[in-house]
Amino acid sequence: MILPPPGEDDSFWKAAPYQLHERLGSLEEITDAALYLLQSGFVTGQVLYVDGGRHMKNAMYGA
């Protein structure tokens, strides 16, 4: 999740309940995922979802 433009903070924080973990990811969690991809010499052509399970919750509940 990327930070919202200035003045649109409310909609950003309202997204938390729609995550499987019902919170937004921290900068450290997102950075850790990016570093994993950068440092893993054997991982190629993968999509790593760093969305707190939002894609799973949407599939389960049709949101």
**pLDDT digit string (tens) for 5-49?**
677 777 767 777 777 777 888 889 989 999 999 999 998 888 888
pTM above 0.85, yes or no: no
Higher pLDDT, 11 or 63: 11
52: exposed, middle or buried (Cβ count in 10 Å: 0-12, 13-18, 19+): buried
User: Which amino acid, one-letter code, is at 61?
Assistant: Y
